[in-house]
Each structure stands twice: as structure tokens, then as C-alpha cells.
Amino acid sequence: MALADGSGIIRIGVIGGGQLARMMVPPAVHLGLRISVLAETEGSSAERAADRVGDYRDPETVFSFADTVDVVTFDHEHVPPSILRELESRGVSVHPRPDALQFAQDKILMREKLTELGVPVPAWAAVTNEAELQEFIDTHGGRAVAKTARGGYDGKGVRVISSASEVRDWFTALAEDGRGGALLVEELVDFVRELSQLVARRPSGEVRAWPVVETIQRDGVCAEVLAPAPVQHAQTHSADSSDCRSGGTAAVVECDCILCTAARIGLTVAEGVGVTGVLAVEMFETADGRVLVNELAMRPHNSGHFSIEGSLTSQFEQHLRAVADLPLGETAMTAPAAVMVNVLGGPAEGPMPVRYAEVLAAHPRAKVHSYDKLPRPGRKVGHVTVTGDDLESVLAEARAAAAKFD
């Protein structure tokens, strides 16, 4: 990589000042990278690395920030594609590239691409009016999931509906926007659990994947992550089940169990969209034994926070390695089980550190991460990770430690 300042130190610029940018800072220091953050506001979660504050939707703000770094990457997917394409035209290294990132920015483009790749997805349609939406609902059991094509996350921009009138406000907003557009509607999937496969890919093509994990949601927000995902009793394995849970290459290639199927899907998507950096492929395991892709995220993801303590290389270090085109690290688990529990809301009397002494004394195995956010109902203000030999005991301790921040 050619470095603009000739120092030999790669300068990484992160657009977005949330907790993902915050958790990139320690591995950047360890890797000898210089990290800068363009934060949206003063007092952001990543304030310690935020040397710029400005609007990521303003071209000149982004161009000025990009002039100070060697690589631009992201804490979120919301930077307008036109700005990112202009950065590339100016010779700036942008990772993930706009041609890949568009599939995480626009859910309809995502569904079109996944369908093109032959990846299993829920039945879906792009609809531009209530009549088209109601026809889909009526032909798919009387209920469906409607989604805004852009901007939704953590349950926002998603509604389970039985009548097209329930999203009339969304159609009105599309009409008032004046640019046309459509809503995404999908079948309401009968799933038994949600899975996530994280994959990292360098511009040069090297790929590494973590074990498939199980995610547990509450009110549309990730609450817990179990790593690796437990093997269900009904699954059959054509390879050793420990390989299936570890994401071993031989198992992924040879085995038709749910976990290896999910791992293959994740690798197929990473290569198919040409991602650079970390990609999270969120999936449903259905009641009839299928695996369907739900969402994509092209950045470090909540389902990978366990990897800070639970993997030899965390998703945050790996993302930095990938976007800087450095050799990727090993992703094996550091213990047989790791559980991450989000702290949602936080203590009523202030930020998480007001409870640290009590929590650390009661749960010395727990690793506590504060995002330096003020408490608010449902808000992700931090997380707790516990690793160990037995999933049941690890899960119990992680839940108990996180509960002390309620």
C-alpha cells in the first residue's frame, strides 16, 4: 500500500463515531496503525480517536477527512454512495468498496444480488404501492414482513403486517421524496433460531471466517450471542461435529449440517459481493431445516463482539488488517464456549462504570465493555463477555453480570 505521508505508518480513517469505531482503537494501537474517526457529534462513543466532527452526508466534509488518511472504512453503512464513488475516483482506498457496500445499504439490491448468487433467501418482492403489497401478503399466508429499502437497523424500518395500510406512511414518504423507490416485502419466516457467519476478506483475496454463532434477539435488537452456535440434536454430520462448530474448512466443504451450510453461505456471499473488511451474514434456521439469509452488514457486527476475548483474532483487529491489506489472523476460539450479552438501557443512575466495582467483584471472569453512552431504554450501552469450557455455565454467568447493569 502506498502511504501518502511516507512515514511507513498506515493511516486508517473511520467514518462514524459509534461503538464499532471505539472498539477498533485498541487493535489499531497494537498493529501500529494510526486511526482517525470522523464523528457525527461531539461526545461520541469513539471520542478518544475522533479528530474530526462533521456530517458524513456532506461531500466536502468527507473529502477533507479522506485527504488525511490512507484508507477509508466505516462504523456504519449510511454514507451516500455518490460520495464514496467520488472518493474512489480521486484515488482514495475505500473498504468495503462502494460496489460491494451498496448491497448492505439497499435491501432490495441485496435481495437481487443474493438471488443472482443462488443464495437461499425468503420469498420477496419490491413493491411500489399498496395494491402490489397486499397481493404479496394475500399469496403468502396473510402476513408478511415489510422493510424500508434503506436506513433500517436494529428493528427500525421493519414491520410485521397483515394489511398494506399498515405501511401507508412509508409509501407516502416515498412519494414525497420525489425520487421514486419501493419497499421490500418478504415472507414471514417460521424460524427456530437466528445464526450469523462473520467473514473477513482482504483486497488481495485472502479470506478467514469465524465459527457460526447463534444470536438471540429481543424486540428486534440483538441481546445475546452464543459462540460457537450449539449443535442441535436433529442435525446429522458427515464430518466430526467439533469441526462443524469450529468452522473447520474440511467440515464446511464436506458436511451438510445446518452450521456448515450457514458457513458455506457466508463464504459464498463474501466472495460473490467482493467485500473487503468484515462481513456479517445474518441467517434464519427454519423449522423445516433450511438456512435463509436475512441481512448483511459490511463492518464489524454485534454478533462478533464475542471475538475480542473469544477468538485468537477479534473482528475489530481483523477488519483493520483486511482494509489495510495486511495478512489476516487466525480465528479459532480461545475457549470451547463464549457468550456475549448486550447491556441494553444501562443503569438508571448514570453510565455503566458506576456499577463496575460491584460487577467486577461478583464476576471476575466477565469482561465488561462500556461504550461511554448515557443510559436510555433499549439502547446498546455496552456488553459483557464470558468464556469457558461449558456453554450453560458461561451463559449463566454472562447473563448475571450483564443484569447488574439493569
Q: Which residues contact 177 (CB under 8 A, 6 or more apart)?
A: none
pLDDT of residue 19: 97
**Whether residue 138 sits in one domain with residue 78:** no
- Element spanning 136, H or E: helix 130-139
**Whether residue 160 sits in one domain with residue 257:** no
pLDDT at 241 > cutoff 60: no
Q: Residue 139: give the domain boundaries.
A: 123-187
Query: Measured between alpha carbons, how far is 187 from 287 in angstroms, rounded to an integer?
Result: 14
| Mean pLDDT over the full length of the chain | 92
Q: Give the CATH number of the domain where residue 52 resides.
A: 3.40.50.20
Q: Give the CATH number of the domain where residue 183 resides.
A: 3.30.1490.20
Burial state string for 203-224 with b = 16 or more CB within 10 A and e = fewer than 16: beeebbbbbbbbbeeeeebbbb
Instruction: Write out the DSSP string of 217-275.
Output: EETTEEEEEEESPPPPTT---SS-HHHHHHT-HHHHHH--SHHHHHHHHHHHHHHHHT-
For residues 74 and 14, the answer to whether their CB atoms sit within 8 Å is yes
Q: Tell me if 111 is assigned to some domain.
A: no
Distances in Å between the Cα of 236 and the Cα atoms of 73, 88, 244, 266, 268 are 40, 47, 11, 20, 22
Q: Tell me if 4 is assigned to some domain.
A: no
**Average pLDDT value for residue range 218-228:** 94
**Average pLDDT value for residue range 108-130:** 97
**Whether residue 205 sits in one domain with residue 83:** no
pLDDT of residue 219: 86
Q: Tell me if 3 is assigned to some domain.
A: no
Question: What does the pLDDT look like over 300-312, one tens digit per residue?
Answer: 999 999 999 999 9
Q: Is 365 exposed, middle or buried (0-12, 13-18, 19+ CB in 10 A)?
A: middle
**Whether residue 331 sits in one domain with residue 250:** yes
Q: Tell me if 117 is assigned to some domain.
A: no
pLDDT at 97 > cutoff 50: yes
- The DSSP 8-state label assigned to residue 283 in this structure reads E
Q: What does the block give as the cell for 178?
A: 420525489
Give the residue among 199, 200, 194, 248 at the shortest CA–CA distance from 225: 194
Q: Is 150 exposed, middle or buried (0-12, 13-18, 19+ CB in 10 A)?
A: middle
**Average pLDDT value for residue range 324-332:** 97
pLDDT of residue 356: 95
Domain boundary among 134, 163, 187: 187
Q: Quickly state the pLDDT bin for 1 (edges 50, 70, 90).
A: low
**Whether residue 231 sits in one domain with residue 350:** yes
Q: Which residues contact 347 (CB under 8 A, 6 or more apart)?
A: 354, 355, 375, 405, 406
**Whether residue 286 sits in one domain with residue 154:** no
Q: Distance from CA of residue 167 to its chain's centroid?
A: 26
Q: Is 79 exposed, middle or buried (0-12, 13-18, 19+ CB in 10 A)?
A: buried
pLDDT at 128 > cutoff 50: yes
pLDDT of residue 253: 60
Q: Tell me if 29 is assigned to some domain.
A: yes
Q: Is 337 exposed, middle or buried (0-12, 13-18, 19+ CB in 10 A)?
A: buried
Range of lowest pLDDT (148-152, 198-202, 264-268, 399-403): 148-152
Q: Quickly state the pLDDT bin for 242 (edges 50, 70, 90).
A: low
**Average pLDDT value for residue range 261-278:** 96
For residues 300 and 128, the answer to whether their CB atoms sit within 8 Å is no
Q: Quickly state the pLDDT bin for 176 (edges 50, 70, 90).
A: confident
Number of domains in the chain: 3
Q: Tell me if 99 is assigned to some domain.
A: no
**Whether residue 67 sits in one domain with residue 24:** yes
**Whether residue 339 sits in one domain with residue 229:** yes
Share of the chain above pLDDT 70, in %: 91
Range of lowest pLDDT (247-256, 319-328, 384-393): 247-256
Q: Quickly state the pLDDT bin for 2 (edges 50, 70, 90).
A: very low
pLDDT of residue 255: 82
Query: Measured between alpha carbons, how far is 109 from 147 in angstroms, rounded to an integer?
Result: 13
Give the residue among 351, 346, 341, 405 at the shortest CA–CA distance from 378: 346
Query: Measured between alpha carbons, how far is 210 from 315 in angstroms, rounded to an integer?
Result: 9
- Reading phi first (left if > 0) and then psi (alpha if -120 to 50, else beta), residue 282 is in beta
Query: Measured between alpha carbons, how far is 296 from 102 in angstroms, rounded to an integer?
Result: 11
pTM of the model: 0.93
**Whether residue 28 sits in one domain with residue 175:** no
**Whether residue 76 sits in one domain with residue 60:** yes
pLDDT of residue 238: 56
pLDDT of residue 237: 58
Instruction: State the sign of the Cα–Cα–Cα–Cα dihedral 82, 86, 92, 97.
Output: positive
Domain boundary among 140, 166, 187: 187
Q: Tell me if 108 is assigned to some domain.
A: no
Amino acid symbol at 307: S
Q: Tell me if 105 is assigned to some domain.
A: no
**Whether residue 201 sits in one domain with residue 304:** yes
**Average pLDDT value for residue range 344-351:** 89
Q: What does the block give as the cell for 37?
A: 474517526
**Whether residue 156 sits in one domain with residue 51:** no
**Average pLDDT value for residue range 83-103:** 97
Domain boundary among 94, 109, 139: 94
